[in-house]
Structure formats: C-alpha cells, structure tokens
Structure 1
Amino acid sequence: MLSNLTNTLWCNSENVATECSVLDACLYYNTSQLDKKIKLTLLYETLCPDCQEFILNTLQRYVWKYGQDFVDFNFIPYGNARRTQLNNTWTIQCQHGPVECALNKLHGCAISKLVYVGKWFPLIVCLEEAAKLKMDPDAAFLLCSKKKKLDQTLSISIYKCANGVEGDLIQLQMAEITENVKPHPHYFVPWMLISNLSTAQLQIYQNGFFNILCDWHLGSVPKSCAEFTNFLKQQRNLEVYIDQK
C-alpha cells in the first residue's frame, strides 16, 4: 500500500523513505515537483447539502480565495449516483432524484465547455447557491449565466449539452472517474483527492483543508499560505477580544 501513496505520507521523512526503499524515488519526486501546482479533485453531487456547504464555504471562501496560485481545481459532479446498463444503454440514478441528475449534467457540461477554472468555478458556485434556494436547473442556469456574464454562444452550447446526449456522455465519464479512484474508493461526498490520491484519512481534514494544501505543497511557501495564516490569527484575536468583553 505504501507504494500507492505520495510525498506527504512518506517522502517527507528520510528514515521512512529509506525503510521503504524509495529514497531515490523520493529525492527525484521532491525535486521534480518543486513549486508545481497541486491537483485538487472534488467528487460531489449537486443537491448534497454537505457538498454545497463545502463548495460555498471551505472551497470558495478559503481555497479559491487564497489558493489559486498553487492549486489546480478539478470538479467531478457525479457523487453517489449509480449507473446500470441494459441492452447497451446506460441509466443513471442520482441519490437526490432526477433534478440532481439534471444539475449534475449541467455542472459537467459547464466545466467541459468553459474549460478555464476562472470561468467555470464562479458559475458552479452560483448554481449551487441557486440549488440551495430550490431553483430548477433551467432557471438557475438562466440566472447564473446572466449574473456571470457568459457569452451567449457558450451559454447555448452548455444548455444544449445539458439537455442532450453530450451531457449523458460526460456523466458517464464522471461515473468512470468516480468509480475508479484509488487506493481507497469514495465512501461519501464530498470526497477530496490530492494529486489523484484518494484516501479515507484525507477526508478527516476537510474543515481545515487549506492548511493541508499548504503543507502538501513542495518548494517555497506560497504567499497566500502566509496570508491565510495571518487571517486566522486575526480571527482568533477577534474571538478572544469578543469573549473578554
């Protein structure tokens, strides 16, 4: 199992790396990955309350705000859905019903068509905010595409994708990714992967996830990590001040 794990779990310790006979590999890894962006993958489903909370708070307020300079975002909207095949035709059942399936398709199409995270992440946030308000997918997309000033041609392309075969094919791709994460399968959502590594232990730290990303990063400490540390200190000082009043 150790051979499936990455630098933070054994390459940060020379003794552990030596004991596991991977010291040379770790030395190469630590050098080759210096100051490279970390790939952060989120497995989620659109109507899951915990997923909405994680996207709108932890990711938007902290990881997106402070981590864009050293984090690559990768969203996989499928979650705990299940697919079955009959006569070469796939059917997907979503945990929160048909509306969630429609929203999952919409998210998948938006991410696929917009490509650049600076375009799709704000749209996903808007769609999740609308979902919390129980807006139907079409109304949510109309609102968010206007709010985020999407190009009309792109908006039409996303809408057609979400309501057609292309969106179904994207969902099958999302299913394939979700069903094959390693070394641990996902047990719930939201479920995080770092550098394509899926472990149950990582999920324990979802509430302090930005700190984990800062620790995982190899090379010079990103400026945003220091800014986040200062922000936390200010928050703690404010809490102490309020408690003392």
Structure 2
Amino acid sequence: MDTDMTAVEKVNVKIYYETLCPYCINFFVYYLQPEIVSLHKYLNIRLYPYGNAETKEEGDHYEITCQHGESECYGNKLHACAIDIIKNVTKSTLYNCCLMGNQSDDNAATECGVQMKIDADPIKECAKSDKGNQLLKDYGEKSMYVGYPGVPFILVDGKTSSADVFKKDICEAFIEPPPPCKT
C-alpha cells in the first residue's frame, strides 16, 4: 500500500483561553506553538477564544464583558475571526500563537500577517463588526458547556491537560506515537 494513502492517527486538542491572560499567553508561546510546528499533521486542534468572559443577553441584544477589559474582548474577536477566515487550522493556530506573543491587537494582527503572508485586513474588519461579536458569542456558548475552572483549559482527547505535561499527554494519547514524540 502507498504510504501517502495511509490514514494518519490524530489526537483531538481543545484549548479554551482568553487573549490577555498571562498564563494563556505563556502556554501559546512556549508550549502550543512548538507542538503545532512539530505535530500539526497529527492533531485536530480547536481553539475557543472566550475564556472567563461573560455574555449578558436581553432580547436580541447582548453584551460581552471580558475579564481583562475591552482590549481582551477585541483580542478574542481577532482570534475568533482569524479562525473563521483562515481556513487552514494549522495556519490559523500559528497566527493566533503569534498574536498571543504580541498583545493580540491591530498592530499584532498586521505584523503577524506580514510574517505569515496572511492579509490581516479582513481579520481586523471582522473583529470590529457584528460578525466578530457573533463569533465571540458563539465561542462563549460553546465554552459554557465545558465548565472549566480557569484558563487556559486544555483537553487532549477529552482528558484535562496542562502546559507542563502538554506534549507528554499528546504523545501518550497516540496508539502509535509519531516521530516527533520520540525526540
């Protein structure tokens, strides 16, 4: 059988976070980014940029309040819009890792876009629009059902993980660990 046709075993990783949380920033920059670079073809990654925010609804109107203020809500929207606009999950995750290391603001969106050859303008426009608000609200609804105690909240194949054992947990989730797990 041609090895290119062989199904690749994948591990599911879900990360619930907020953009200005120091622990989340540390996780994205020092733990997630290196693992995405080495293990991306073996992972099904889902990011949930909402964190400890709160959505209050009154009729058709809703308001989202973020733990670290309005700039965090905007950063969360940038992340949500990047996920929506950049269809390649690996690329959008690496873009969001770059944002996390650079304040998750418009300047970061532009700079990370230049570095990664991604047009940041549609992402910034989305974050400033009703679509950005709706995406963030949707992530809030998805996050609400998980009931995590704090962020970052990391699930590897449905089991809770943490930054210090992230790679170990990923590698142990495989039936046949891929080559990056053997280094």
Same-fold call, TM cutoff 0.5: yes
Instruction: Output the CA distance in 1 between the equivalents of 2:70 and 2:173.
Output: 38
Q: Secondary structure at the match of 1:68?
A: helix
Pick from 83, 86, 94 the counterpart of residue 66 of structure 2.
94
Structure 1 residues 206 and 141: alpha-carbon distance in aligned structure 2, compared to 1, 3 A threshold: closer
Large movers: runs of 4+ above 6 Å = none
Equivalent pairs counted in the alignment come to: 177
The one-letter amino acid paired with 2:167 is F
Which residue is 1:193 aligned to? 155
Instruction: Output the CA distance in 2 between the equivalents of 1:49 and 1:115.
Output: 27
Structure 2: 5+ residue runs without aligned partners? 1-6
Which structure shows the bigger proportion of residues in strand conformation? 2
Residue 116 of structure 1 pairs with residue 88 of structure 2: yes
Instruction: Output the CA distance in 2 between the equivalents of 1:221 and 1:38.
Output: 10
Instruction: Output the CA distance in 2 between the equivalents of 1:111 and 1:163.
Output: 15
The CA deviation string for residues 171-230 of structure 1, in whole angstroms up to 9 with x for no partner, is 11100110012xxx20100001223x2x5xx24x43021111111112x22111112xxx
Residue 224 of structure 1 pairs with residue 180 of structure 2: yes
Larger Rg: 1
Which residue is 1:240 aligned to? none
1:35 deviation in Å?
A: 5.2
Q: Percent identity at matched positions?
A: 29
Which structure shows the bigger proportion of residues in helix conformation? 1
Q: Secondary structure at the match of 2:124?
A: helix
Which residue is 1:141 aligned to? 109
Pick from 126, 140, 143 the counterpart of residue 98 of structure 2.
126
Residue 207 of structure 1 pairs with residue 180 of structure 2: no
Scaled by the length of structure 2, the TM-score of the pair is: 0.89
1:163 deviation in Å?
A: 0.6
Which residue is 2:4 aligned to? none
Scaled by the length of structure 1, the TM-score of the pair is: 0.68
1:108 deviation in Å?
A: 0.3
Instruction: Output the CA distance in 2 between the equivalents of 1:123 and 1:85.
Output: 31
Structure 1: 5+ residue runs without aligned partners? 1-33, 228-245
Pairwise CA RMSD: 1.7
Instruction: Output the CA distance in 1 between the equivalents of 2:128 and 2:27.
Output: 27
